[in-house]
């Protein structure tokens, strides 16, 4: 006897894993490829159950479908809020082959062998700045996660499909063998549980950041993560440490997690950390620029008219530290630039928005070099996460940018046009250097970098020593400091090296003493009012 939707009831009693007729329940908010998938299942002998818009889409495509409400004998109620929370649905998904067959037959519960389902688009809806609290609540899926959990728990008897990207592989395996292997069903089950976990995390985070009558807080009461493993790593910072890399499930455009690796060995823990530091630094600049990073610190940065010239100037800052470093560009890398780099130095990893075909061919001669392509995108906000013992710290990303208009000239002498350019360039680099940070620069290139010292004057001395060791003169250069000078000794050290312009946040109890030192040396000094600690 045929059901009202046209599906032979005998089809609804199929046994999973045998290749006999089976029943598939399909209910998706993302209908990409669902008609083709359902048609493939129908051709393989599956009867089709569905709900709402999915059922309509399948019928319009000429497929025979039974509505879930017809299958359960209970209508959808409360504007569709309740439609699949029924023993005939969950019994069909949870019934264990062999163990529950008699009970299912007694109660008239057909086994559901395959569930294809994705959830209400809560994250997409709430990402809209105009989303109301009521819209968000209505996009919390109830029946969907419940069915996914039922099917995933019973993976030995049920296959659960949660994404259009899985459709082709599932159909191909069914066509080849008549049934899905347990290993396949287990992998699909894990994907389903991961989807439900991310979905619940998104809801929890969104709701715990606000109330129905109060605006959102940037830091929700429940800080859930939404990361999926990109790869296991050979080891962590050191060989005795285990490690893995996790990406945001929806990485912001233009970030490291948005990258494509086009060549080279697997990324290591330190590769990833250095690559992120290099890319975060180089993407600040508009002109063709190059950043060379070693141990998460820029050791050379330059902007120029071409990527080759930018690289040459960045490399000249500290050619010793550049050995084995990570090199990032904010523009397409050509063959000449690629050839110059690999002929001159050992490089672990290169990053750019694009590489010419000739550049990639040249780099292919050094197969171990890791080559990453990251699309350019506007710098976006977000949260920065740092682990601490037994917990984590969250803060907004340090994406503050400083312009000339933001600065206050505090010295007797104002900067010249060239000095302004040098100061703002040095400031951008200093923002990315580990504290205490001092950067000497001139002509859109770094001349010396002092990083990670416990005292600021030591960073100033190291930066001067680095410049001297590289054969670079600091006469007429600019200095950037990521935080204020607590004493005048840093200014005296820079003046002795030839620095004539200083940019710093200001705010020290001894600002007057520091400004007086700048005036004594004929320096110009500007305050930004913004600090860039980077621990």
Q: The CATH number of the domain where 155 resides is what?
A: 3.40.50.1380
**Is the predicted pLDDT of residue 3 greater than 70, yes or no?**
no
Please compute the mean of the pLDDT values over residues 453-481 and round it to a whole number: 96
Q: What is the pLDDT of residues 280-300, one digit of tens each?
A: 999 999 999 999 999 999 999
Per-residue pLDDT, 218? 65
337 and 479 in a common domain: no
Per-residue pLDDT, 142? 86
If pLDDT is split at 50, 70 and 90, which confidence band does 4 have? very low
**Is the predicted pLDDT of residue 319 greater than 70, yes or no?**
yes
Please compute the mean of the pLDDT values over residues 131-154 and round it to a whole number: 90
What is the phi/psi pair of residue 298, to 5°?
-65, 125
Tell me the pTM. Answer: 0.78
**Is the predicted pLDDT of residue 222 greater than 90, yes or no?**
no
Whether residue 135 lies inside any domain: the answer is: yes
Per-residue pLDDT, 62? 93
416 and 355 in a common domain: no
Contact 157, 95 (CB under 8 A): yes
Domain count, the chain: 3
Whether residue 213 lies inside any domain: the answer is: no
Whether residue 241 lies inside any domain: the answer is: no
Q: What is the pLDDT of residues 152-210, one digit of tens each?
A: 999 999 999 999 999 999 999 999 998 999 999 999 999 999 999 888 888 888 888 88
190 and 56 in a common domain: yes
Name the residue with higher pLDDT: 288 or 394: 288
506 and 463 in a common domain: yes
For the chain, the C-alpha Rg in angstroms (whole number) is 30
Q: How far is CA 331 from CA 257, 336, 351, 380, 441, in A?
A: 18, 14, 10, 19, 21
Whether residue 216 lies inside any domain: the answer is: no
Q: Looking at the annotation, which residues are catalytic?
A: 153, 295
**What torsion do the CA atoms of 377, 383, 384, 390 make, to the nearest 10 degrees?**
-150
Whether residue 233 lies inside any domain: the answer is: no
If pLDDT is split at 50, 70 and 90, which confidence band does 13 have? very low
Q: Which residues pair with 301 in a beta bridge?
A: 291
108 and 17 in a common domain: yes
CATH code of residue 483? 3.40.140.20
Contact 65, 48 (CB under 8 A): yes
Angle at alpha carbon of residue 301, lines to 296 and 304, rounded to 5°? 150
Q: What is the pLDDT of residues 340-369, one digit of tens each?
A: 999 999 999 999 999 999 999 999 999 999
What residues have CB less than 8 Å from 391, skipping those under 6 apart? none
The two structure tokens encoding residue 440: 């000497």
Whether residue 235 lies inside any domain: the answer is: no
164 and 17 in a common domain: yes
274 and 199 in a common domain: no
Domain that holds residue 368: 253-373
Q: What is the pLDDT of residues 69-87, one digit of tens each?
A: 888 888 877 877 777 788 8
357 and 409 in a common domain: no
416 and 360 in a common domain: no
Per-residue pLDDT, 7? 38
The two structure tokens encoding residue 124: 């997409």
131 and 27 in a common domain: yes
């Amino acid at each position: 006897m045929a059901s009202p939707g046209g599906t032979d009831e005998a089809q609804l009693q199929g046994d999973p894993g045998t290749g006999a007729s089976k029943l598939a329940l399909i209910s998706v908010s993302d209908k990409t490829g669902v008609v083709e998938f359902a048609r493939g299942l129908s051709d393989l002998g599956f009867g089709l159950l569905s709900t709402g818009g999915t059922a309509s889409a399948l019928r319009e495509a000429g497929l025979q479908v039974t509505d879930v409400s017809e299958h359960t004998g209970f209508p959808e109620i409360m504007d569709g809020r309740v439609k699949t929370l029924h023993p005939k649905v969950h019994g069909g998904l949870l019934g264990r082959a062999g163990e529950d067959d008699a009970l299912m037959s007694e109660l008239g519960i057909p086994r559901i062998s395959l569930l294809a389902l994705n959830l209400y688009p809560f994250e997409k809806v709430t990402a809209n700045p105009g989303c109301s609290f009521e819209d968000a609540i209505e996009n919390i899926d109830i029946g969907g996660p419940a069915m996914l959990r039922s099917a995933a728990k019973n993976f030995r008897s049920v296959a659960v499909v949660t994404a259009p990207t899985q459709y082709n592989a599932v159909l191909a395996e069914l066509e080849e063998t008549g049934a899905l292997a347990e290993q396949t069903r287990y992998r699909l089950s894990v994907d389903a549980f991961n989807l439900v976990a991310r979905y619940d995390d998104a809801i929890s985070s969104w709701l715990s950041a606000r109330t129905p009558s109060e605006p959102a807080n940037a830091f929700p009461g429940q800080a859930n993560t939404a990361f999926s493993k990109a790869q296991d790593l050979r080891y962590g910072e050191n060989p005795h440490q285990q490690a893995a890399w996790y990406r945001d499930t929806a990485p912001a455009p233009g970030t490291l997690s948005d990258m494509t690796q086009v060549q080279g060995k697997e990324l290591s823990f330190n590769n990833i950390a250095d690559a992120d530091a290099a890319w975060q630094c180089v993407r600040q600049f508009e002109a063709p620029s190059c950043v060379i990073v070693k141990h998460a610190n820029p050791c050379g940065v330059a902007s120029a008219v071409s990527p080759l010239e930018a690289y040459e100037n960045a490399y000249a800052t500290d050619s010793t530290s550049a050995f084995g470093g990570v090199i990032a560009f904010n523009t397409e890398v050509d063959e000449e630039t690629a050839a110059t780099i690999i002929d001159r130095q050992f490089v672990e990893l290169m990053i750019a928005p694009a590489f010419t075909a000739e550049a990639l061919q040249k780099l292919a001669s050094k197969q171990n070099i890791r080559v990453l392509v990251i699309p350019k995108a506007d710098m976006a906000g977000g949260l920065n996460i740092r682990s601490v013992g037994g917990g984590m710290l969250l803060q907004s990303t340090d994406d503050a940018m400083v312009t000339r208009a933001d600065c206050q000239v505090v010295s007797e002498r104002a900067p010249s046009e060239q000095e302004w350019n040098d100061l703002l360039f040095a400031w951008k680099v200093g923002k990315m250097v580990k504290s205490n940070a001092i950067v000497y620069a001139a002509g859109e290139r770094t001349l010396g970098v002092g990083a990670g010292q416990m005292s600021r004057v030591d960073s100033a001395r190291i930066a001067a020593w680095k410049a001297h060791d590289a054969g670079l003169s600091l006469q007429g250069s600019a200095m950037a400091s990521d935080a204020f000078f607590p004493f005048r000794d840093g200014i005296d050290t820079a003046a002795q090296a030839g620095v004539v312009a200083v940019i710093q946040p200001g705010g020290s109890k001894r600002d007057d003493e520091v400004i007086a030192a700048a005036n004594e040396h004929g320096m110009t000094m500007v305050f930004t009012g913004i600090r860039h600690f980077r621990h």
